[in-house]
Structure 1
């Protein structure tokens, strides 16, 4: 067997002379330095290249990088100020940013300005670190947690050297624009406290049912008619005569008597579920014997836990279910809580009949929605 065959059979690497024959690509032998170390991975004129890679930048290039960083910091400052100005001023008109109709616009401007501010600030800091700071290796030794005087003095000395290397002490333009860009971001969380909304005072203690009933009584009627949610069709007793049925209803006349930007808010508080409970299983609460119509009873659809719609109904058990956290209410017994985190029953709406239509004779006698809404 020849020497060449021995090398191949023994699993040895081919010699460099053999690898170069026939124009074959040269294979690097394991253990030899990588040729990539001889090349600079970043171009010297690249604005993102670290100052410590390759040749040290001259002062003109560093000045140019300084102006780029300062410009980015100014962009971050302007974006933060725009965020605060829009949140306080422009979002307060025409119902404000808390209205459903303007949610998309406010999210676009608030999210866009804040994202631009963080992006410009991050880009500025990145260019600062890569172009204006030295990139020498730093070794941190492990010692006891309690530092002696010598270690504290060494830390102070290293800190000052780091500050000197970063250029923050000798480049006031960068220092000032950085502080300017960061100042509005520090104030933004305080401004966002407004997003908690104005104090509700007593507005959550009442729904549009009360106002609608008063208007109907001024016209000589006993109460306001219930209309089907979506079709706004008044509901007759004969339309809802099947036991086990459930439907969502609202007070009649919301669209005609409420400003357009308030319709959704009023409907959200007044939304009600109407349930036909079998008369032999219905157990009206004391003092509420006349609040139902032959077993047809009305409860608030807003769950008393955190405000989710309690929109599921089990005909066999007569249980009202909230799908968010599984709070369960007994429709036959004043919507009392039988399971889940809800702390109190669903408020009940007093019902009656007028000219064959189901009507509400008053507002809810207790606040609707989560218990914390009552804090207003």
Structure 2
């Protein structure tokens, strides 16, 4: 608290400082940039050459990783052909190791390049007015400076190994996308295989029996009790050799039974179930993860990847999570022997909802 002086003016205690009394005393001077500490590669040409070789080695490791990927992908054999476990293990090892080396080699190489060879001087630029022509000149100058500072013109070994690594690194991903189709005439059917039609057709067809996964035993309607859930595949899938995993990934379904009076059935789907036995695709419509959990009391199906929840009582409509589309329903009936069979294939593509599906 201030005190009143003899002349009625307020005076302040010496223990307090008041803003505005003498602002110049408290101004902080610009400390400037810290002194630049040159790196070893800045002063020693041998160290710079050694750093260049190290970066090039990382790019070469990336190239080797890409080669390992293709050795595992094309040389070891296809996973879907009932290979021995040791062969599958070796192939997965080469695929994972090759992809990791391809990506890490480029990443670590570029970081090491920037830390050891590119200029690291601190600079300060004054703000200036924005002018179109000036901006164009400045942008051109910046690009020129970047090219000069990267020393990519003066170091052809770096340039060539980087170009090779960048050109080869995307090839594993192209190969993976290409293998979405297992037909020999992939090039002729590329538009169909990358479109929604690729996921529209599965092994389900009229009269195909529903069998347990993985035993392959057929299912009678009387085997499905109220509140139960079964993982089901089409009969004959276990005999498929080429593309078995791809076919299973598309065709696997969940079969559940609940009180038909608790289900909202859309017009036209009245005969798609058998006394409350429903079959729905097990593939989540978000990113294609397998639906793994059925809650009997709530009639909910849960996806473990991103917690999308589907309500079986509402024809597997999504009620929570990122999925935006209901699980496709497989129309089923019973044959003369009482076994569950499909009436047809799915009436819509299974799996993630792409923009082409509307």
* TM-score, with structure 2 as normaliser: 0.63
Alpha-carbon separation, structure 1, partners of 2:282 and 2:355: 15
The counterpart of 1:225, out of the listed 209, 215, 225, is 209
Which residue of structure 2 lines up, in the alignment, with residue 4 of structure 1? none
Q: Does 1:267 align with 2:267?
A: no
How big is the shift at 1:194? 1.7
3-state SS, counterpart of residue 265 of structure 1: helix
Q: Does 1:181 align with 2:157?
A: no
- What does residue range 89-128 of structure 1 map to in structure 2 within 5 Å? 91-92=73-74, 94-95=77-78, 101=88, 102-116=91-105, 118-119=107-108
How big is the shift at 1:250? 0.9
CA offsets 1:304-359 (integer angstroms, 9 cap, x no match): 23323333323233233334444443323433344444333221112122313222
CA change 1:126–1:302 in 2 (3 A) is closer
Contact kept in structure 2, 1:226 and 1:360, CA below 8 Å: yes
Alpha-carbon separation, structure 1, partners of 2:269 and 2:129: 73
Which residue of structure 1 lines up, in the alignment, with residue 283 of structure 2? 302
How big is the shift at 1:120? 5.6
Alpha-carbon separation, structure 1, partners of 2:244 and 2:347: 22
Contact kept in structure 2, 1:72 and 1:121, CA below 8 Å: no
Alpha-carbon separation, structure 1, partners of 2:308 and 2:123: 56
How big is the shift at 1:275? 0.8
Contact kept in structure 2, 1:121 and 1:181, CA below 8 Å: no
- What does residue range 160-239 of structure 1 map to in structure 2 within 5 Å? 175-187=155-167, 191=171, 194=174, 197-198=177-178, 199-201=193-195, 202-210=197-205, 213=206, 223-239=207-223
- 5+ residue gaps, structure 2: 1-38, 179-192
Alpha-carbon separation, structure 2, partners of 1:139 and 1:285: 68
Alpha-carbon separation, structure 1, partners of 2:125 and 2:310: 62
Computing the radius of gyration over CA atoms, which structure comes out larger, 1 or 2? 1
Contact kept in structure 2, 1:325 and 1:341, CA below 8 Å: yes
Which residue of structure 2 lines up, in the alignment, with residue 255 of structure 1? 238
- What does residue range 1-376 of structure 1 map to in structure 2 within 5 Å? 49=40, 52=43, 62=45, 64-65=46-47, 68-69=50-51, 71-85=53-67, 91-92=73-74, 94-95=77-78, 101=88, 102-116=91-105, 118-119=107-108, 140=123, 143-145=126-128, 175-187=155-167, 191=171, 194=174, 197-198=177-178, 199-201=193-195, 202-210=197-205, 213=206, 223-240=207-224, 242-259=225-242, 262-354=243-335, 355-372=337-354
Alpha-carbon separation, structure 2, partners of 1:123 and 1:145: 34
Contact kept in structure 2, 1:251 and 1:270, CA below 8 Å: yes
How big is the shift at 1:189? 6.4
Alpha-carbon separation, structure 1, partners of 2:101 and 2:266: 53
Contact kept in structure 1, 2:66 and 2:101, CA below 8 Å: no
- Farther-moved stretch of structure 1 (110-119 vs 174-183): 110-119
Task: Report the RMSD for the aligned CA atoms in angstroms.
Answer: 4.4
* TM-score, with structure 1 as normaliser: 0.61
CA change 1:273–1:85 in 2 (3 A) is same
How big is the shift at 1:252? 1.6
How big is the shift at 1:254? 0.8
CA change 1:117–1:141 in 2 (3 A) is closer
3-state SS, counterpart of residue 292 of structure 1: coil
Contact kept in structure 1, 2:72 and 2:94, CA below 8 Å: no
Contact kept in structure 2, 1:204 and 1:374, CA below 8 Å: no
Contact kept in structure 2, 1:273 and 1:298, CA below 8 Å: yes
Aligned residues: 289
CA offsets 1:120-144 (integer angstroms, 9 cap, x no match): 6665776657xxx9x9xx6746644
How big is the shift at 1:276? 0.6
Which residue of structure 1 lines up, in the alignment, with residue 186 of structure 2? none
CA change 1:314–1:75 in 2 (3 A) is closer
CA change 1:373–1:273 in 2 (3 A) is farther
